[in-house]
Amino acid sequence: MVRGRISRLSVRDVRFPTSLGGHGSDAMHTDPDYSAAYVVLETDAEDGLKGYGITFTLGKGTEVVVCAVNALAPHLLNKDLGDIVGDFRGFYRQLTSDGQLRWDPRKLVSCLDFRYITDVLTEEEAYEILQKGQVGKKEREEQMLAHGYPAYTTSCAWLGYSDATLKQLCSKALEDGWTRFKVKVGADLQDDIRRCRLIRNMIGPEKTLMMDANQRWDVPEAVEWMAKLAEFKPLWIEEPTSPDDILGHATISKALVPLGIGVATGEQCHNRVIFKQLLQAKALQFLQIDSCRLGSVNENLSVLLMAKKFDIPVCPHAGGVGLCELVQHLIIFDFVSVSASLKDRIWLHLLVPSYISTCARMCEYVDHLHEHFKYPVIIKKASYMPPKDAGYSTEMKEESVKKHQYPDGEVWEKLLAAQVN
Amino acid sequence: MVRGRISRLSVRDVRFPTSLGGHGSDAMHTDPDYSAAYVVLETDAEDGLKGYGITFTLGKGTEVVVCAVNALAPHLLNKDLGDIVGDFRGFYRQLTSDGQLRWDPRKLVSCLDFRYITDVLTEEEAYEILQKGQVGKKEREEQMLAHGYPAYTTSCAWLGYSDATLKQLCSKALEDGWTRFKVKVGADLQDDIRRCRLIRNMIGPEKTLMMDANQRWDVPEAVEWMAKLAEFKPLWIEEPTSPDDILGHATISKALVPLGIGVATGEQCHNRVIFKQLLQAKALQFLQIDSCRLGSVNENLSVLLMAKKFDIPVCPHAGGVGLCELVQHLIIFDFVSVSASLKDRIWLHLLVPSYISTCARMCEYVDHLHEHFKYPVIIKKASYMPPKDAGYSTEMKEESVKKHQYPDGEVWEKLLAAQVN
């Protein structure tokens, strides 16, 4: 049992000047400074229990998120932890209407808000999925502990990287045992063709290549553009158009099936209702949850359960600030208790038999900013090794927070002074 | 030609304690304090040109919107007005990607960002719609000046009103010439039946009744609930479920056609991509733009044009703080230059011939908070009379702003002090 009350909430604007190196650049976000609104909750519990939360941002506007966190603070302050855990769904709805991971199936289902999704998933269906997930759970836990959850890397091919950097990073990744690679596309077709050819040649025909357009295209444009990149055999095209365009993604999905290319999306989808429709409309073949974009673990859980019902693999979005640290918990939980599978899906098999070896469930990995976290992810042989510390791996090193606080931290004080001069 | 630069931006948190009287209450928002983030832009133009902007909020969290406005300020400060007007689309995309009404068709179309909607509306199609809209324009302007744009009232039947208040307000509205009424529903079925019977009996069978559930239901629940309210012959059910649920609204629309009830939604739809899909999926029969929820006039214009293409009547959401003042410009523009019609749609005619006399295009009206605006709306015979002053009717009375500023204005100082005691 948890005891105590939430006694204090602090939120800080933490920014890392990643734009200086072109890290994280894509067709829509050319100069991101990876940042976070970092929340620490203190309690009056005897053991000094604290809670840590972040939401990932791209620099500018983090102060707006900080302001939003402060606006929600009255819902948390002085709340009894037992009351929160005792009625997690009610607490969640209260937070989301004004504005972690080890329970039995009943308790877990009681955390989820089924409002607006009962037409595809009822509480009873969710419970049944989790009950079935109990079978073979121990073996899957052991498998995770021994081998980890398969990952792919996005670190080699940001849009702002030169071909020389791309080659160098790709060689290094191959040496390190990576077999799945994602490349940013969508700004310039000829540039895309050159970069995709370069990377496909380096990794060879057997390894997996994914492409990511970061919402750059209109619907017909996405289909035309991908027809020109099909020769490089991408497993999926990610965010081909507006993340709000469910019907547009369905149109693109249908058009790309004959080319053996799936559609992946979700990192910018803001709630379970959008994911429900993406599944209903057959608009995606790979579902990309984001641990921060979807407010809370609760909301992510309802999406994992809907994906299971529709038999769509969840391949989480990660990178950013701390997203790898957080989402590893969700995807390992998905494997152990929900999907119970690392296997690839059926649809591409049927259509493109040669893809059998390359399609698989996997979680994104980006190799940066982990050094600022107290419990950073551990990657072995291109897999996420399960975190063994308690909690959601969200706590940052206090030194990192202080140094990168915006605009008064040491790093920003120097950078902003340099801008003025 | 406009000359000058934007020299100053100020934004204030203005709140009206409307919750004290139950005004604005519905099935999801039980105690709203109608509020606004109020922006004043100053310029160095010789004539002292200023710009006024608001966005409507419900009290708490207005400080977050204020913070967001300040985050966007660097995109506006020191900008040359001629440059903005010279490339409105580029300026708009810049604002919406980091984050008014009298031009020729070419110029107007050049304000719109067609990204993500070219699959249903191209720039050329938009231009053609506006060109056709030139025919008969003068006559329609005269019609508006003489008779105004038809309105309906939401002021009689907020959910928090007693039956006695409802009766009294309804009698008064009938005396004032109102023929179209909206009632809030969705919290309790028996209560809804009693209130709907009361209002239908008071207004008689010929006048128009609309219902608004403010997102309270799941999809199957919406269909079941409305079957029970069908006897009161509502023209539409508004916001039956999550505003993000395009496919859900399509399911509800299909199910309610045999009952002669249309679906209306849009006041919480955040961009043109959601509206595009609502139209594609035949998810609504009445499209409700909101002058503040959709960022900018530009975004609203693209929705008006798409609605025209799909032959769906636009019946704007209004009320709130200043929404009537703003949206009257948009809907009168829609009549004069886009839809060119006040007539009802075809679908209900075909199905329910008795509805011919009651279905019509109309704009919501709520009778409160107009006294705080420098150029308040003028309603005559239940119609919006066209505003004749220059601008978007957004400017508030400085005295009202000062008094209602949160938390330091006179009104809030007293109310907050009373809360402490």
Residues of chain B with pLDDT > 90, as a percent, come to 63
Q: Are A308 and A287 in contact (CB under 8 A)?
A: no
pLDDT reported for residue B357: 39
B218 → closest Cβ in A99, A118, A248: A118
Name the residue facing A273 among B97, B244, B277 (closest C-beta): B244
| Given the residues B23, B182, B184, B372, the one annotated as active site | B184
Amino acid found at A46: E
**Predicted local confidence at residue B353, as pLDDT:** 45
| Of the candidate ranges A99-113, B128-142, B177-191, the one whose mean pLDDT is the lowest | A99-113
Average pLDDT across chain B, whole number = 89
**Tokens in use for A393?**
């791996």
- Residues with Cβ within 8 Å of A107's Cβ and at least 6 positions away in sequence, in order, are none
B300/A295 Cα distance (integer angstroms): 28
Neighbours of B14 (CB within 10 A): 28
Q: Which residues contact A354 (CB under 8 A, 6 or more apart)?
A: none
Single-letter amino acid code for the residue at B122: T
| From A404-408, B141-145, B196-200, B270-274, the region with the lowest mean pLDDT | A404-408
Rounded to whole angstroms, the Cα distance separating B168 from B145 reads 31
Task: Kindly tell me if the per-residue pLDDT of B380 is higher than 90.
Answer: yes
Q: Which of B218, B246, B271 sits opposite A277 (nearest CB)?
A: B246
What is the interface size between A and B, counted as CB pairs within 8 Å?
98
Cis peptide before B32 (omega within 30 of 0): no
Q: Which pLDDT band, with edges at 50, 70 and 90, does B217 fall under?
A: very high
Whole-structure pTM value: 0.88
Q: Band of the pLDDT at A98, cuts 50, 70, 90?
A: low
Q: Cβ of B245 and A277 within 8 Å?
A: yes
**A133-175 tens-digit pLDDT:** 999 999 999 999 999 999 999 999 888 889 999 999 999 999 9
Q: Give residue B117's pLDDT.
A: 95
Are A64 and B67 within 8 A, CB to CB? yes
For chain B, say whether A73 makes contact (Cβ under 8 Å): no
Stretch B367-383: mean pLDDT, rounded?
Answer: 93
Measured between CA atoms, the residue of chain B closest to residue A59 is B98
Cβ proximity of A152 and A210 under 8 Å? yes
* pLDDT per residue as tens digits for the range B78-90: 999 999 888 888 8
* SS3 of residue A138 by DSSP: helix
Closest chain A C-alpha to B216 CA, distance in angstroms:
9
Q: Specify the amino acid at residue B16.
A: F
Is the bond into A376 cis (omega within 30 degrees of 0)? no
For CA atoms B346, B348, B351, B356, give the dihedral sign. Answer: negative
Nearest Cα of chain A lies from the Cα of B224 at a distance, in angstroms, of: 13
**What are residue B384's DSSP bridge partners?**
B149, B379
Contact residues on chain A for B75, CB-CB shorter than 8 A: none
- Residue B347's pLDDT is 47
The residue from B23, B308, B317, B404 that is catalytic is B317
A383-385 and A149-157 beta bridge pairing: antiparallel
With CA atoms as reference, report the closest residue to B301 among B73, B113, B146, B133.
B113
CB B237 within 8 A of CB B260: no
pLDDT at A101 over 50: no
**CA pair distance B374, B276, nearest whole angstrom:** 35
B115 close to A (CB below 8 A)? yes
Q: Which residues in chain B are closer than 8 Å to A273, comparing Cβ atoms?
A: 242, 244-245, 248
Question: B242: which chain A residues are within 8 Å (Cβ-Cβ)?
Answer: 115-116, 273
- Contact criterion met (CB below 8 Å) for A130 and A111: no
Contact assessment for residue A304 and residue A109, using Cβ atoms and an 8 Å cutoff: no
Alpha-carbon distance of A161 to A166, in angstroms, equals 6
Instruction: For residue A195, give the H/E element and its range.
Output: helix A189-203
Contacts of A238 (CB under 8 A, 6+ apart): A182, A210, A211, A212, A213, A214, A263, A264, A265, A286, A288
pLDDT digits (tens, 9 = 90+) for A267-312: 999 999 999 999 999 999 999 999 988 878 889 999 999 999 999 9
The answer to whether B271 contacts chain A (CB < 8 Å) is yes
Across residues B42-65, what is the average pLDDT? 89
Residue of higher predicted confidence among B1 and A406: A406
Partner residue opposite B116 with nearest CB, options A99, A241, A276: A241
Quick check: B246 contacting A, CB < 8 Å?
A: yes
For residues A317 and A294, is the Cβ–Cβ distance under 8 A?
Answer: no
Distance CA A253, CA B276 (A): 18
Cα–Cα distance measured from residue B239 to residue B267, given in angstroms and rounded to the nearest whole number = 8
Q: How far is residue A147's CA from residue A335's CA, in Å, rounded to a whole number?
A: 13
Other CB atoms closer than 10 Å to residue B380's CB: what's the count? 11
Of A159, A161, A156, the residue nearest A179 (C-alpha): A156
Residues B382, B180: contact at Cβ < 8 Å?
Answer: yes
Shortest CA gap B289–chain A (Å): 17
Q: Name the percent of chain A in helix, strand, coil, to the closest 5.
A: 45, 15, 40
pLDDT digits (tens, 9 = 90+) for B107-123: 788 888 899 999 999 99
Q: What are the angstrom distances between the C-alpha of B413 and each of A89, A155, A227, A401, B37?
A: 35, 53, 63, 36, 18
Of A28, A61, A244, the CB nearest to B273: A244
When pLDDT is cut at 50, 70 and 90, the band that residue B359 belongs to is low
**Is the pLDDT assigned to residue A385 strictly greater than 80?**
yes
What sections of B59-204 are H helices per DSSP? Answer: 62-72, 81-86, 88-97, 105-109, 123-132, 137-147, 163-175, 189-203
Chain B nearest-CA residue for A252: B119
The answer on pLDDT for A221 being more than 80 is: yes
- Average pLDDT of the residues in A227-231: 98
Residue tagged 């050319």 (tokens): A30
First to last CA, chain A: 56
Does the pLDDT value for residue A417 go beyond 50?
A: yes
Interface test with A, best of B120, B242, B299, B310 (most A CBs within 10 A): B242
Nearest CB among B64, B219, B277 relative to A245 is that of B277
**pLDDT tens for residues A171-214?**
999 999 999 999 999 999 999 999 999 999 999 998 999 999 99
Give the model's confidence band at A359: pLDDT under 50 very low, under 70 low, under 90 confident, else very high: low
Query: Which residue type, as a one-letter code, is found at position B263?
Result: V
B251/A contact by beta carbon, under 8 A? yes
B416 touches chain A (CB under 8 A): no
| Chain-chain contact of A248 with B281 (C-beta, under 8 angstroms) | no
Q: Return the residue of A nearest to B279 by Cα.
A: A247
Q: Tell me which of A13, A19, A242, A276 to substitute to probe the interface with B (most B C-beta atoms closer than 10 Å).
A: A242
How many Å apart are CA B342 and CA B238, to the nearest integer? 20
Strand duo B208-212 + A262-265: pairing? unpaired
Locate the DSSP E strands across A144-277: 149-157, 180-184, 208-212, 234-238, 262-265
> Tell me, what's the pLDDT at B54?
84
Q: Is the pLDDT of residue B158 over 90?
A: no
Show the tokens assigned to B392.
């978007």
Higher-pLDDT residue of B32 and B128 is B128
Q: Looking at the predicted structure, is the pLDDT value of residue B246 above 90?
A: yes
Per-residue pLDDT, B356 = 42
What would the pLDDT profile of B329-351 be if each residue is shown by its tens digit? 999 999 999 999 887 655 444 45
B172 catalytic per annotation: no
Percent of chain A whose predicted confidence (pLDDT) is above 90: 63
Cβ contact B246–A248 (<8 Å): no
Distance of alpha carbon B69 from alpha carbon B38, whole angstroms? 10
For residue B153, list its beta bridge partners: B181, B365
Give B35's pLDDT tier (boundaries 50, 70, 90). Answer: confident
Portion of chain A with pLDDT greater than 70, in percent: 94
| Tokens matching residue A284 | 């995606």
Higher pLDDT pick, B26 / A172: A172
Q: At residue A47, does pLDDT exceed 80?
A: yes
Q: Do B220 and A118 touch (CB under 8 A)?
A: yes
Beta strands in B161-287 (DSSP E): 180-184, 208-212, 234-238, 262-265, 286-287
C-beta separation of B184 from B158 below 8 A: yes
Helix (H) or strand (E) holding A203: helix A189-203
Measure in Å the smallest separation between the Cα of B225 and chain A Cα atoms: 15
Q: What is the pLDDT of residues B276-310, one digit of tens each?
A: 999 999 999 999 999 988 878 889 999 999 999 99
Residue-wise pLDDT for B384-414, tens only, equals 999 998 888 988 898 988 998 888 889 889 9
Contacts of residue A271 in chain B, CB cutoff 8 Å? 244
Contact assignment for B280 to A67 by CB distance below 8 Å: no
Q: Using CB atoms, which residue from A115, A220, A242 is nearest to B218?
A: A115
Rounded-to-integer distance, Cα A145 and Cα A386, Å: 6
What CA dihedral angle connects B19, B25, B30 and B33, to 10 degrees? -30
Average pLDDT over chain A, rounded to an integer = 89
- Is B60 near chain A, with CB under 8 Å? yes
Interchain contact B15–A (C-beta under 8 A): no
Amino acid identity of residue B83, one-letter, is: D
Q: What are the φ and ψ backbone dihedral angles of A285, each rounded to 5 degrees?
A: -110, -15
Question: What is the average per-residue pLDDT within B14-43?
Answer: 82
| B407 backbone dihedrals φ, ψ, rounded to 5° | -100, 10
Give the model confidence (pLDDT) of A318-329 as tens digits.
988 889 999 999
Task: Nearest chain A residue to B250 by CA: give it.
Answer: A277
CB atoms A244 and B117 under 8 Å: no
Question: From CA B286, how far away is CA B410, in angstroms rounded?
Answer: 41
**Collapsed DSSP state (helix, strand, coil) of residue A142:** helix
Residue B182 is predicted with a pLDDT of 95
Looking at residue B243, its amino acid is P
Transcribe A347-372 into DSSP letters.
Answer: HHHHH-GGGTTT----EEE--SSGGG
Nearest to B101 by CA among B308, B386, B376: B386
CA distance B281 to chain A (A): 8
Gap between the Cα atoms of B109 and B101, Å rounded = 12
Give the gap in angstroms from C-alpha A69 to the nearest C-alpha of chain B: 9
Contact assessment for residue B320 and residue B56, using Cβ atoms and an 8 Å cutoff = yes
> Testing the interface with B: which of A31, A94, A112, A115 to mutate, by most B Cβ within 10 A?
A115
Name the residue among A383, A337, A347 with its Cα closest to residue A364: A383
What pLDDT does B345 receive?
55
Which residues, including other chains, have CB under 8 Å from residue B408's CB and lie 6 or more apart?
none
Q: How far is B245 from chain A (nearest CA, A)?
A: 6
- In whole angstroms, give the CA distance from residue B419 to residue B402: 21
Instruction: Give the bridge partners for B157, in sequence order.
Output: B183
Indicate yes or no: CB of B220 within 8 angstroms of CB of A273. Answer: no
| Distance separating alpha carbons of residues B323 and B328, to the nearest angstrom | 8
| CA-closest candidate to residue A259, choices A285, A239, A277, A241 | A285
Strand A50-57, strand B35-43: pairing: unpaired
